Amino acid sequence: MASNNKILEEVSGWLRVYHDNSVDRSWTGPPEVEFLMKPVPSHEDFKDGVATRDVLIDPNTGLSVRIYIPASENGFHVQDKMPLILHFHGGGFCISQADWFMYYHFYAWLVRSVRAVCVSVYLRLAPEHRLPAACDDAYAAFLWLRDVARGEMSESWLKSYADFGRVFLVGDSTGGNIVHDLAARVGGLESEPVRLAGGVAIHPGFLRAEPSKSFLELAESPLLTRDMVNKFMGLALPIGSSKDHPITCPMGAEAPPLAGLKLPPMLVVVAEKDLLRDTELEYCEAMKEAGKDVEVMMNPGMGHSFYFNKLAIEADPETKAQAELLIERIKSFITRQEI
């Protein structure tokens, strides 16, 4: 007898949603890039210049984080407290997780370069958990950091190595949307001794219901196609919402006015050949018009999330150079915000 469990929605290579509401996220694209989507086990011994551990921060919801600390020149003992990066992965709110190789490779590199602690959140995914679920997970992770800083919760690495007075939000692609959403959400929150010092949105997934010129005309890239954007947003946004929703369009009419938000200094990274380039730049201009502290870095000649493509970084000198410049710009931004 033929199965009635047919595919209702498919994002080529990435995701299949079935009639019984089950979701298959096994990679079915080119096998030579599958390693980018493979989980990297945590390791509390130092490898690749970092140690990592996975921590369950809310037993009731299952919310977990991955913590990175950099190796010091003389081993495990770090002399000074380091800035703390709270990281949110991308994936259109529908795919990817904090332990994927693409994130491990880049964030181990960033942690080593900046000399920072990183806490990367395992966000719930749509369509099983539509927005604002991922944003709520980010907020819960921030509150957990506050509880650890106050001694109400315990985490030995953070207690030993993290400076809670220098917390930076960093997000890739739709993780960049979460950076804005969380910064706005905690702007008026009593969070001492945690101080939100800045936010970094890398190729954020800002969109409008009316497609931009770049979205319609630029060439697609391996990590972002128009089909991916449209289908992921259809699966992730609340039922009945369009891309003008405040999470995807924080500069739009449906979102709280930017001028009324208490936001930290922000660095927005834009790729010249990103389909989302125009709406990312629109966000930056709206932030400037609202009197917010925002700086923009452009990656010339690059596409969306290019810095995760280890094969391209190894094969193309310009891609490698742009990834190195990205690391240095984030490092510079963090250093300049420190008191």
Q: What is the amino acid identity at position 270?
A: V
Long-range CB contacts (within 8 A, 24+) of 102-108? 102/36, 102/37, 102/308, 102/309, 102/310, 103/172, 103/308, 104/40, 104/52, 105/308, 105/310, 106/307, 106/308, 106/323, 107/68, 108/48, 108/49, 108/50, 108/68
Task: Characterize the bridge pairing of strands 15-18 and 7-11.
Answer: antiparallel
d(CA 334, CA 114): 8
First CA to last CA across the chain, in angstroms? 68
For CA atoms 208, 209, 210, 216, give the dihedral sign: positive
**Does residue 181 carry a catalytic annotation?**
no
Of the candidates 328, 302, 95, which has an alpha carbon nearest to the alpha carbon of residue 200?
A: 328
- Dihedrals phi, psi of 106, to nearest 5 degrees: -75, -45
**Where is 297: in which H helix or E strand?**
strand 294-299
d(CA 96, CA 81): 30
d(CA 208, CA 246): 10
Exactly one of 136, 181, 274, 278 is catalytic; name it.
274
Exactly one of 64, 96, 120, 173 is catalytic; name it.
173
DSSP structural state of residue 250 = T
Cα torsion through 76, 77, 82, 84, rounded to 10: 40
**Does residue 191 carry a catalytic annotation?**
no
Exactly one of 87, 241, 304, 305 is catalytic; name it.
304
Of the candidates 200, 184, 247, which has an alpha carbon nearest to the alpha carbon of residue 86?
A: 200
Cα 240 to the center of its chain, rounded Å: 25
**Does residue 129 carry a catalytic annotation?**
no
CB count within 10 Å of CB 217 equals: 10
The residues assigned a catalytic role are 173, 274, 304
